[in-house]
C-alpha cells in the first residue's frame, strides 16, 4: 500500500531527498538512514540484474519483481522507475496496478520512444505529446489509492529544447501527474526556470557525471524542487569499492587493506541473521 507520508511531504513543500537503490543490499543500507524515500533506479537495477545498459532491455516482469522485493524488505516509501510503462496504454494500466500492488508509493513514467535510453545519454527520442498525455490519464485512472503518486518525466529537453520540455511538463500535470520531472536540464538557470514555470511539484535528477549541475540539497529546496533523486550515488560507490577490494586481493593476496568494509558481524545484522538465531534458539535446529 502506498505510504501517505510522501504525498504529505510534497504538499508541505518539504524537499524529499531519495538515494538510488539497485538491489537488496543497497536498499537495506539506505533504509536505515532515515531518508523520506528511496528511489529504485532502472539504470542500477538493469546493471545489477542483467549486467547490461539501461536501453529498454529490461521488461515489466524483470522490474516489478525486483521493485516488489525491495518494497517488501524496507520501510521507507519507494519511488520506482517504470520506464515508458513497458508498452501501450493497456501495458501502462497493468504496470501502474502491478507497481501499486508491489508496495510502491510513486511510479515514474517517461515520454521516450521505445526502446528507451538512460536520460543522461545521447540519441533519446520522445513520443508525441498527445500520446504521453493519454498514458498519464490512463495511469491516473488505474491507481486505486490517492496516496499512490504519478511522476511524469519528459526527455524532450535535450533534443527539442527547454520550452518544449516546459510545455510537455505542464500538459502532463494537467493530465493528472502529481509530480513533473524534466530530465537533464543543463544549467542552474534552467533548473530555476523549471521550478518556476511548471505548474506542479517538480523533481530533480542529480546524476554524478551527468548533464545536470550537482547542486546541494539546500539550493534545490530554495529553488523550489519537491523531490531530488540521486540514482547513481549507490552503484557508482559500490563499483568503486568492489574494484578496490578485488584489485587489492589480486595484487597483494589480501583483503584487509585500504578499502572500507563492513565487519562480518555488521553485515550479519544488516541482512537479519539475529532473527534466524533467535528462531533457532526458541525452536531448535
Q: What is the pLDDT of residues 120-150, one digit of tens each?
A: 666 678 999 999 999 999 999 999 999 999 9
- Other CB atoms within 10 A of residue 270 CB: 15
> Are residues 182 and 154 in contact, defined by beta-carbon separation less than 8 angstroms?
yes
Q: Is residue 60 part of a domain?
A: yes
Inter-CA distances, 216 with 56, 123, 180, 213, 259, Å: 31, 29, 20, 9, 27
Number of domains comprising the chain? 1
With the CA atoms of 137, 141, 143 and 148 taken in that order, what torsion angle do they form, in degrees rounded to the nearest 10?
50
- Other CB atoms within 10 A of residue 85 CB: 25
Q: Is residue 273 part of a domain?
A: no
Give how far the C-alpha of residue 44 lies from the chain's centroid of Cα atoms, to the nearest Å.
9
pLDDT tier at 258 (50, 70, 90 boundaries)? confident
Q: Please name every residue paired with 108 in a beta bridge, in sequence order, or none if there are none.
A: 81, 151
Please give the pLDDT value at position 117: 64
Q: Is residue 232 part of a domain?
A: yes
Q: What is the pLDDT of residues 264-277, one digit of tens each?
A: 999 999 999 999 99
Q: What is the CATH number of the domain that holds 131?
A: 3.20.20.60
Q: What is the pLDDT of residues 65-105, one digit of tens each?
A: 999 999 999 999 999 999 999 999 999 999 999 999 999 99
Q: Is residue 245 part of a domain?
A: no
Domain that holds residue 92: 4-238
35/234 Cα distance (integer angstroms): 14
Does position 285 have pLDDT exceeding 70, yes or no? Answer: no
DSSP 212-270: S----HHHHHHHT-SEEEETTHHHHHHHHHHHHHHHHHHHHS-S-SSS----HHHHHHH
Q: Is residue 259 part of a domain?
A: no
The percent of residues above 90 in pLDDT, for the chain, comes to 88
The percent of residues above 70 in pLDDT, for the chain, comes to 97
Q: Average per-residue pLDDT in the chain?
A: 94
> Are residues 53 and 266 in contact, defined by beta-carbon separation less than 8 angstroms?
no
161/166 Cα distance (integer angstroms): 9
Q: Which range among 37-46, 178-187, 211-220, 246-255 shows the weakest confidence by mean pLDDT?
A: 246-255
Q: Is residue 283 part of a domain?
A: no
Amino acid at each position: 500500500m502506498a505510504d501517505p507520508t510522501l504525498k504529505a511531504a510534497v504538499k508541505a513543500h518539504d524537499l524529499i531527498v531519495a538515494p538510488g537503490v539497485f538491489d537488496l543490499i543497497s536498499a537495506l543500507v539506505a533504509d536505515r538512514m532515515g531518508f523520506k524515500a528511496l528511489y529504485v533506479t532502472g539504470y542500477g537495477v538493469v546493471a545489477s540484474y542483467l549486467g547490461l545498459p539501461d536501453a529498454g532491455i529490461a521488461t515489466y516482469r524483470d522490474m516489478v519483481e525486483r521493485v516488489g522485493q525491495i518494497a517488501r524488505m524496507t520501510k521507507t516509501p519507494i519511488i520506482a522507475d517504470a520506464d515508458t510503462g513497458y508498452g501501450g496504454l493497456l501495458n501502462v494500466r497493468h504496470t501502474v496496478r502491478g507497481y501499486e500492488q508491489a508496495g510502491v508509493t510513486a511510479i515514474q513514467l517517461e515520454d521516450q520512444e521505445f526502446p528507451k535510453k538512460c536520460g543522461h545519454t545521447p540519441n533519446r527520442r520522445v513520443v508525441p505529446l498527445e500520446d504521453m498525455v493519454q498514458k498519464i490519464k490512463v495511469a491516473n485512472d488505474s491507481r486505486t489509492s490517492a496516496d499512490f503518486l504519478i511522476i511524469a518525466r519528459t526527455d524532450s529537453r535535450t533534443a527539442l529544447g527547454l520550452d518544449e520540455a516546459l510545455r510537455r511538463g505542464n500538459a502532463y500535470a494537467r493530465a493528472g501527474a502529481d509530480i513533473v520531472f524534466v530530465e537533464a536540464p543543463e544549467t542552474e538557470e534552467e533548473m530555476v526556470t523549471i521550478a518556476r514555470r511548471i505548474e506542479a511539484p517538480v523533481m530533480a535528477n542529480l546524476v554524478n557525471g551527468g548533464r545536470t549541475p550537482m547542486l546541494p540539497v539546500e539550493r534545490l529546496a530554495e529553488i523550489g524542487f519537491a523531490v531530488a533523486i540521486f540514482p547513481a550515488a549507490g552503484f557508482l560507490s559500490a563499483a568503486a569499492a568492489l574494484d578496490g577490494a578485488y584489485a587489492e586481493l589480486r595484487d597483494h593476496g589480501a583483503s584487509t587493506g585500504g578499502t572500507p568494509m563492513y565487519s562480518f558481524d555488521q553485515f550479519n545484522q544488516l541482512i537479519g541473521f539475529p532473527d534466524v538465531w533467535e528462531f533457532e534458539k526458541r525452536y531448535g535446529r
